[in-house]
């Protein structure tokens, strides 16, 4: 608003679905955990053994299937404004 633009249009979206529909997203989540693992270790959040990246996706899928859970991924928020012509 300080830039003299109008109010933005905004949108929020998130991947959501059952275990079968979310397999691809869970693989991306595993890669994110692999990237964050050094910081998780440094901060005392998790060890490689606790996270067990080799079985993480399979364990999450099994748990979601066993409990008939819905998996909700991260939210993405977009905002945009059209400028006058």
Query: What pLDDT is stored for residue 34 in this prediction?
Result: 97
Average confidence score pLDDT of the chain: 93
Instruction: Examine the pLDDT at 3 and tell me if it is beyond 80.
Output: no
Contact indicator for 28, 53 with CB cutoff of 8 Å: no
What CA–CA distance (Å, rounded) separates 52 from 28? 15
CB atoms near residue 21 (< 10 Å): 12
User: What is the pTM assigned to this prediction?
Assistant: 0.75
Domain ranges for the chain: 17-73
User: Encoding tokens for residue 25?
Assistant: 């997203």
Report the greatest alpha carbon distance in the chain. 57
Query: What pLDDT is stored for residue 6 in this prediction?
Result: 86
pLDDT band per the 50, 70, 90 thresholds, residue 55: very high
Q: What is the mean pLDDT of residues 26-33?
A: 96
Instruction: Examine the pLDDT at 15 and tell me if it is beyond 90.
Output: yes
């Amino acid at each position: 608003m300080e830039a003299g633009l109008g109010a933005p249009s905004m949108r929020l979206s998130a991947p959501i679905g059952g275990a079968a529909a979310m397999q691809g997203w869970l693989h991306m989540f595993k890669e994110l955990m692999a990237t964050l693992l050094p910081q998780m270790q440094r901060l005392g959040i998790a060890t490689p053994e606790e996270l067990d990246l080799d079985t993480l996706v399979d364990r999450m899928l099994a748990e979601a299937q066993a409990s008939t859970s819905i998996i909700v991924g991260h939210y993405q928020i977009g905002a945009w404004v059209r400028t006058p012509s």
